Structure 1
Amino acid sequence: MKRIDQVSETSRGRAAALLGAGLLLLGAVLLAPSPARAAEPTALEIAMLPPYCQARLSRDRAAMEQWSAALGKETYLHIHHYCTGLVYINRVNQTFEQRKRRYLINQAINEFDYVLKRWPPTSALYAEAQGQKALAQMLELP
């Protein structure tokens, strides 16, 4: 058996590279978003949304109060579900992996169903939510 001082520089380099690759892989696994956090939109995703969603998802209290007054408390109470549905639709348009697309589409449909069950049909966004659900269902087609 060789002593540590007898190990070649090449072997040390390989060992260091393997260790580095292993640590990189471990970091990627540990930092990957968990399913519970997968729905949390990034700042860029929030910026792509309508202003009432930006206010709600960024938790801007003053803007939230303004939008609640404009859209109605009943609608704004559940708006984060609608906004999350929009985030899922945007993510669908950014992925080609079929399994992930199906998951995102189903999540979007669930979010739109949630608001359609809770918003009054007279809500300013009710028809838009119906349209977004229909879009998600069309994306579901092969």
Structure 2
Amino acid sequence: MLLKLSKKVRLDNTVRPIHLPSSEMHINDNQQCHVAGWGYTRTGGEAVDDLRVVDVSIINPQVCKREWGGLPANVICAGGYGTNKGFCQGDSGGPLVCNGIAVGVVSFNKYQNCNYPDVPNVYTDISKYLVWINSVISPPETL
């Protein structure tokens, strides 16, 4: 989902656009990234008032598929998987950011369990949707 704003945003030191990945983007296993959100801090907890950010490590795609019993090719796995770091309910749609680039969107975890489950957290891979994103944010000129 993309949000269409009713007016232009005024950019300054506190408001900046995030960079999108290239279609050839490669993320390394164990690369440190960040996930942000206002969701619960534990399963059954309450949403927070302040934006929270946590560092998560990218998990090898083959390991992730094995742990989940199969996944589509349009996902990235990071966090969860025996760590005490990851996303929770209420964080859906939030960004996975690596080196200042939005590479993923919070998608799902196992049984809505965010007390850091035995499987990785799963994100939608933004690089797989660049054609659609660019068609929405920069539609072709009409004559």
TM-score by length of 2: 0.25
Please identify the structure whose Cα radius of gyration is greater: 1
Whichever structure has more strand as a proportion of its residues is: 2
Higher relative contact order at CA 8 Å, sep ≥6: structure 1 or structure 2? 2
Structure with the bigger percentage of helix: 1
